[in-house]
Amino acid sequence: MSVVLVDAGGTNIGSVRYALQRLGVDASLTSDAAAIRSADKVILPGVGAAGPGMARLQELGLVELMRSLTQPVLGVCLGMQLLCERSEEGDTACLGLIPATVQRFIEQPGLRVPHMGWNRLQPRGVHSLLDGVSDGDWAYFVHSYAVPVGDYALATTDYGGEFASVIARGNFHGMQFHPERSAKVGARLLKNFLEL
C-alpha cells in the first residue's frame, strides 16, 4: 500500500510520519502531482493558518489535483479545515470538498482560544473510520478555528458548543485533532483510515 503525505508546509509532518511508521507504513512526503495521484491513500497534514496553507497548495499547483482525487484522503488539523469551502481565518477560499465555513471559536469566560489539550469525541453514527472508537474517548487538540456540525460530521467535540471533530464526505475525511498525539485512539483512527 502506498501512502503519501502532501508537503503543504505543515509542521506536524514528521510526527504524522512517525505515527504511520509505528503502524508499519512508510509514508513518503511529496508535492509531486503524479505521486499523489497514484497513491493508495493521501494525507494532508497541516499546522498553521488557512491562508498560507492554501497559498502553498496553489504555489505547488495541487489545488485542482486535490479536488479531483478519488482514493481515500485524510486531512489532519489544518488539513481538515482546508477540505472545507471557506475559512473565516483571513477569509480564505479553501478546497470546497466539505460544504462548511470554518469559524473562529468565540471567546467566552473560562474558555481559552486556542482550544488546546485533551477533549472527548462523541461519535454520531456508524462509519468504518470510527471502528473501535467509543463515546467519550480522548483526543489531543490545538486549534483556534473549527468546522461547524453538519451531516458530514462523524464525531463532534464540545468546547463552548459542539463542533465537528471527525468528518467525511465521499472519499474525503478529516480529523481536527492530532491523531499522531492522541495515544491509542489516534493510532486506531489512523489504522482505520489506512484500512478504508
Supply the residues annotated as catalytic. Answer: 77, 178, 180
Alpha-carbon dihedral of residues 23, 69, 29, 104, nearest 10 degrees? -90
- Helix 13-22 vs helix 183-194: angle between axes, to the nearest 10 degrees? 80
| Residue-wise burial string across 30-53, b where 16 or more C-beta atoms lie within 10 A, e elsewhere | bbeeeebeebebbbbbbbbbbebb
51/14 Cα distance (integer angstroms): 22
- Cell numbers for 41, please give them: 491513500
Q: What are phi and psi of 6, to 5 degrees?
A: -75, 125
Quote the cell numbers at residue 69.
Answer: 482525487
Residues in the chain: 196
